Amino acid sequence: MKPAAVAAVCVGVALAYMSANVALNHAGNWTALFLTGDAVKAAPEELLRGERLAVAHGSPGYDGQFYHYMAHDPWGVRRFDAHVDDPGYRYRRILMPALAWALALGRDRWIDHAYIAVVLLAAGLGCYWTSRVAVSARRSAWWGAGFAILPATLSAVERMTVDVGVTALCCGWTLYRLEGGRIPLMAITTLAPTVRETGALLGLAQLDRGWRWLWCMAPAASWLAWTRWRYGPSRVEFLGPLPLEGWWERLTHPAVYPFSGAVNTVLAGLDLLALLAFPAAWALAAWCIRKRESDWPVLALFALLPAFTSTGGVWTEANAFARSFTPLFLLLGLVALRGGRWWFALPAAMVSPRIWMELVSPVYQIALRTSTIVGLR
């Protein structure tokens, strides 16, 4: 099967799951996917009046709610930025909300579905590029489906987060480095930092082919300067001076979940497995750096990122650290695909099951309600 067909199948499955989830678990309200709460910031009145916005009262919601507001007002003209928890931080990640706004021609009634389409496009591109890397290594194109079950992809499908975008671009960057595609590399290096600031690491890694690649990061730098001028510095500081500080704090202070003893034990065990994926990833990245193999500069940069990420906001919950650092696990997985060293896929296999567990409840509810509808219960 061709890579484009693999990507189409993966996107089709994701859309089918989202449709079933919305229809059966959220009474057909697609805005429920944004996980909007009002404990941190209230939703804009215009959205509450203009669309049937699903709001979990008393809940902080999740990150997708803020990217939803940004998609309705990417330039801050309507002052929706006042409803974003930290606009100096969120508005740096403008690309996916802005694409949704452009796709919807700025019309509010189309923007929600346009944003979902952008998320599916990012997931589809990731599957397509992964499949092409596999085919170039004389492996089955179906390996591209592996992108669909990575934490960043599943989080985007469930919670409308933007990490899937930068993860997909990491895969495209690897492919076009292999093929020598100068124009696609320029586009990816330019766009990646505006999806998520960690995308700038692709531009830094590209400097091994000449300092002129710095120019590709000029648009992102200009946008960053504008957001800083308008909103001031972000209140969030991710990086700290001590290596492994955040990871060690999370490892030695495991989360306690409000479930039964058995469920809590399973979740805690999967948390531990996911956290142990990081030492495995660091060791494998160090091996590549030592051997100067497999685009080692980009592996070095993405391996350093979790090592020096100290803020509790990233390490507090498994979904946050798993999706934030998915590019590292993806890049190692691509080493496995290209060179046949399958142990390089081990970190991804260790971190993903914890995120898969979060699908158990909605999938169970879908199955339960479907069986009721068809008369099996």
Chain segment 8-57, per-residue pLDDT in tens: 999 999 999 999 999 999 999 999 999 999 998 889 988 888 888 999 99
Q: How far is C-alpha 80 from the chain's CA centre?
A: 23
pTM of the model: 0.95
The pLDDT, as a whole number, for residue 312 is 62
- Average pLDDT taken over every residue of the chain: 94
Q: Which residue has the tokens 């991710």?
A: 238
β-partners of residue 37 are 56
Adjacent-strand bridge partners of 309: 239
Contact 101, 108 (CB under 8 A): no
Q: How confident is the model at residue 159 (pLDDT cuts 50, 70, 90)?
A: very high
Distances (CA, A) of 317 to 66, 89, 228: 18, 19, 28
158-162, 170-174, 199-203, 338-342: least confidently modelled range = 338-342
Helices (H) and strands (E) in the chain, counts: 19, 2
Q: Give the whole-number percent of the chain exceeding pLDDT 90.
A: 80
Q: How far is CA 52 from CA 40, 43, 46, in A?
A: 20, 12, 11
- CA–CA distance from 146 to each of 69, 112, 136, 256 (Å)? 31, 27, 16, 30
Q: Looking at the DSSP assignment, which residues form a beta bridge with residue 56?
A: 37
Q: φ and ψ at 56, to 5 degrees? A: -90, 100
Q: Rounded CA gap, 251 and 214, in Å?
A: 37
Q: Given a cut of 80, is residue 240 above it in pLDDT?
A: yes
- The closest of 240, 236, 233 to 309, measured between CA atoms, is 240
Q: Stretch 153-173: mean pLDDT, rounded?
A: 98
Single out the residue of 293, 25, 34 nearest to residue 159, CA to CA.
34
- The pLDDT, as a whole number, for residue 377 is 60
pLDDT of residue 148: 98
Q: Please measure the distance between the N-terminal and C-terminal CA atoms of the chain and give it in whole angstroms.
A: 39
Q: What is the pLDDT of residues 241-260, one digit of tens each?
A: 889 999 999 999 988 888 88
pLDDT, position 256: 84
